Amino acid sequence: MSKKIKEKLKKNWLVITTLGISTGILVYSLFCQNGIMTLGNIIAKLRVGWVIATLAAVIASWLLEGFVLHIIVKHIWKDWDYSKSYNIGMVGVLYSAITPSATGGQPMQIITMHNMGMDTGVACSAIAIKTLTYQIVMVLYAVIMVIAKLKYFQANVNNFAWLTVVGIFGNVIFIAVVFMFMVSKKITDRILRFFLHIANKMKLCRNPDERYEQIHSQLALFHNASKRMGKSGKLYLIVMAFTTLQITLTSLIPYFIYRSFGLRGAKISIMIAAQVFVAMISSFVPLPGSTGGAEGCFYIFFGPYFKSGIWPAIIVWRFVTYYLNILVGAASVWWSNKYIKNKKMREKAVFSDDGQRH
């Protein structure tokens, strides 16, 4: 094995391990749960119209990912087109799928935007605002669904209250800390240092100063973003509206898969609510793509609907919401790198021409 291959394997060991675990789960579901036989029967009776609806929802969510980012970017950086925003959005989708954190795609998005010609501060502001907006909409969406469908899920999902509290509480803390930092950096710093000190005493945090700098730098992004974006209430409402549409379309995917399997009877509103909870809870799994947690949550929330077809449903759902994201995201990274390379070549050519003139 060459040295370069060894270095790449060492560098990407977590991604490779995670993809291996995810593939293992799919293989298990196919061969150890009679999944392959059930999947074969389902494919033979598959409803093409609902399959098209599933793919349309996936594609629409990608387009909206870029569109929401584009609305924010155009507010502070006029010289930018949608094709760039779309590709930046998909760069984020890819790296969020192959890195341990759901926000793992943000640094790569900022780097790519900068390499495409955008000011780093503007890129940080745009990505920070988009992330915060998405978190707020997701929490509000989940709270509304909890209120509307609480009795149903309490009766049909084991440990629903615990799962929901963990999901909502974690996201609310994140949003509250960000807002507090925007209002008062001093108070937030004191609170942050206090909790890190307690965590260090309890041996939960070995390097509190280093951890403080990491968290502080992330919060500073949101503080600077709020200054750059200003107080445009109309802009934030538009962004939140399209983010709500994006989450709704993504949450419709399990229902479309359900109908494509030839099943009926489930209420669409309950299946949307279930997917919102799955997305929110599984986001806390510290593995790329929430591997293991995503499949487990889907099994818990959607098992009563798909019944014997739950494992084939998980396979199809993971393919269109995870593996397809990786494939299309990789294509966007390739396009972005090609654009950046051509941009540098053009700049080099212009510099050479100027040099000859002088």
Concatenated DSSP letters of 300-345: HHHHHHHGGGHHHHHHHHHIIIIIHHHHHHHHHHHHHHHHHHHHHH
CA 176 from chain centre, in angstroms, equals: 20
Conformation bin of residue 264: beta by default, left when phi > 0, alpha when psi is -120 to 50: beta
Helices (H) and strands (E) in the chain, counts: 15, 0
Can you give the pLDDT at residue 175? 76
Q: Worst-scoring range by mean pLDDT, 48-62, 80-94, 186-200?
A: 186-200
| Residue 357 binned pLDDT confidence (cut-offs 50, 70, 90) | very low
CA distance 253 to 298: 12
User: Which of 5-9, 15-19, 164-168, 286-290 reaches the highest mean pLDDT?
Assistant: 164-168
Q: Is the pLDDT at 269 greater than 80, yes or no?
A: yes
| Residue 64 binned pLDDT confidence (cut-offs 50, 70, 90) | very high
Residue 202, in any domain of the structure: no
Could you tell me the pTM of the whole model? 0.79
Give per-residue pLDDT as tens, 174-206.
Answer: 777 766 666 666 776 777 677 667 766 766 566
Can you give the pLDDT at residue 247? 95
Residue 156, in any domain of the structure: yes
The more confidently predicted of residues 112 and 294 is 112
Residue 8, in any domain of the structure: no
Residue 188, in any domain of the structure: no
Can you give the pLDDT at residue 356? 53
Can you give the pLDDT at residue 185? 66
Q: Worst-scoring range by mean pLDDT, 231-235, 270-274, 322-326?
A: 231-235
Residue 296: which domain range?
Answer: 13-183+233-353
What's the angle, vertex CA 128, arms to CA 122 and CA 130, rounded to 5?
Answer: 105
Across the range 146-175, mean pLDDT stands at: 75
Q: How many domains, in total, are found in the chain?
A: 1
Mean pLDDT of the chain: 79
The residues near 122 (Cβ < 8 Å, ≥ 6 apart) are: 73, 76, 77, 113, 228
Q: Is the pLDDT at 252 greater than 80, yes or no?
A: yes
Can you give the pLDDT at residue 358? 45
Across the range 205-215, mean pLDDT stands at: 70
Give per-residue pLDDT as tens, 124-139.
Answer: 778 878 888 888 898 8
CA distance 94 to 128: 18
Across the range 66-72, mean pLDDT stands at: 94
Residue 4, in any domain of the structure: no
Conformation bin of residue 307: beta by default, left when phi > 0, alpha when psi is -120 to 50: left
CA distance 31 to 36: 6
Residue 208, in any domain of the structure: no
The residues near 206 (Cβ < 8 Å, ≥ 6 apart) are: 200
Residue 26, in any domain of the structure: yes
| Residue 39 binned pLDDT confidence (cut-offs 50, 70, 90) | low
Residue 340, in any domain of the structure: yes
